[in-house]
Structure 1
Amino acid sequence: MTKKNLSVGELSLRSGLPVSTLHFYERKGLIASERTSANHRVYRREILRRVTVIKIAQSAGIPLAEIADALSGLPGDTSPDTHDWERIAENWHDDLTRRIERLTALRDKMAMCIGCGCLSVQRCPLVNADDHLAKDGPGARLL
């Protein structure tokens, strides 16, 4: 017989995340626990899948606020189905494609930058192409 709920320690072990991270996710509304009669936290088994999606999304660079927004559309009383997860993936598809394109361009320009040796923010095509930031005066503009 499979247990219906996981303790926070079991969820930590199964997900590979520290208990403190799971508590953080809960405070941020990404996951939810229930309380036993002894006031111990327990998580429905499907929370493990939610935690996995959070980890994958974070590794892709999706901010926690966007993850929370996407997860808020999932049903709270039942396990999300394939269509629920597909909807989230579709919503992130274009953003991830843009990120991949930007990172690919950065990677390709990085070799040029390292080999250039100009050390000039004014002339650097990577951070200040055509010195378009000069009109804004001195100081960091892109950070």
Structure 2
Amino acid sequence: MTVAQPDVTVVIGAYEAMPYLVDCLASVEAQTIGHARIEVIAVDDGSADGTGEYLEEFAERTSLDVTVIRQDNSGGPSGPRNVGLGKATGRYVFFLDADDRLGPEALERMVAMADRNGTDVVLGRVEGVNRKPPTSMWGQTLERTDVFSSNIKF
């Protein structure tokens, strides 16, 4: 049986991420793009608060394709992201922090925009714990632009 390549791999690096991880994973599970089009690579970066156990429980019960990797603490967010990137098989990769949440249509809209415009990079708005997305760069949707001509301010 041939398994289709997922449209998007969501890489979630997690360190001491409980209880925020629960909402993060629920937001991925609620995506309208369809579970068959999503791959999740979740990397527990040496947590001692139950993060790794929760990731494994989630992988067992969800219909999403979830790979859980547990590793010793790397000392920063780039370690788990790079491990996840190395395992990703999706056409696109989306990095999601364990304390972030996606809107239900986020992945569907970003994949559609990337396909429609033939772009390699799509930025999407994400909300996190105790922070909102910056308003300066989300005032309008720019179908095809570059960082310099769009005057995007991060």
Structure having the higher strand fraction is 2
After TM superposition, the score normalised by the length of structure 2 is 0.26
Between Structure 1 and Structure 2, which shows a larger proportion of helix residues?
1
Q: Give the structure-1-normalised TM-score.
A: 0.27
